[in-house]
Structure 1
Amino acid sequence: MGEAIERFFASLPARAPAVLRGPTRGRLQLDLTTGNRTEHWFLEIAPGTIQVSREQLPADAVFTISAELFEELVTGREAAMAAVLRNEATFSGNVVLFLMFRRFFPDPPGVRDPRESAREHVRRSA
């Protein structure tokens, strides 16, 4: 497994208070595949907190993706929703957990919040 993936999972608990603000809670299982091998990660998600474990636990949702593509997600070179829509990753179970979890992925390089772009346009027009 790549170093970027290890760093991503290690960073989740510290980033959770800023990312997980809603009332959603549950367990998300991530299955990262490489050939015939699958690595399992379990995330216990609650408002403002996330616990990362390799221990197999019952899950409310499962996100399955290749380790290679997951590394693209954690480095911002790909988008999680686009990968699911292209059928390069699958998701089953409580979709809200996936929607909350994808907030941890960085934006692709060069992507800006459209609200900030609009504010800049207004300032230039004034």
Structure 2
Amino acid sequence: MSEATERFFESLPARAPHVLRGPVNGTMQIDLARGNQTAHWVVRMRPGAIEVSRQRGPADAIWYTSEDLFDRLVTGRAQAISTVLRNESSFSGDVVLFLAFRRFFPDPPDTRDPREVAREQAGRLR
């Protein structure tokens, strides 16, 4: 397990009040595969809070991906929905949990808010 992934999961409880504002409630298991081994993370989400565990248990949704791909997600070098659509990862269960969880991932490096870019362009035209 990479240090980036470990830090990502450790940071979730502190970031949850800012990310989980909507009515999300459920448990998602994230299975990270490396060779013949699979690491399991369980996140219990509710509005404004998240609990993270390494213990398997009942889950409303399961997301299966490789450790390598997850490292790219936590560093902003990949996008969660794109990985599912390209069959690089698989998801089953309550899709609302997946859509809420993906908001914890960072934007790609050097990404800027399009409104800021538009303001800069408008300022240059004056």
Length-normalised TM-score, structure 1: 0.94
**Structure 1 segments of 4+ aligned residues over 4 angstroms from their partners:** none
Q: Which residue identity lines up with residue 62 of structure 1 in the other structure? A: I
Percent identical residues = 62
Q: Give per-residue Cα distances to partners, 1:18-64, cap 9 Å, x unaligned.
A: 10000111001000000111111000000000000011121111111
State how 1:46-65 maps to structure 2 within 5 Å. Answer: 46-65=46-65
- Report the Cα offset of residue 86 of structure 1: 1.1
Distance 2:47 2:123 in 1: 36
One-letter amino acid of the counterpart of residue 40, structure 1: H
Query: Which residues in structure 2 correspond to 1:43-122 (within 5 Å)?
Result: 43-122=43-122
Aligned-partner residue type, residue 96 of structure 1 = V
Per-residue deviation, 1:2: 0.6
SS at match of 2:28: strand
Question: How many matched pairs?
Answer: 126
Partner Cα distance (1:115, 1:81) in 2: 23
Let me know the Cα RMSD of the aligned residues.
Answer: 1.2
Unaligned runs of 5+ in 2: none
TM-fit CA distance, 1:118: 2.7
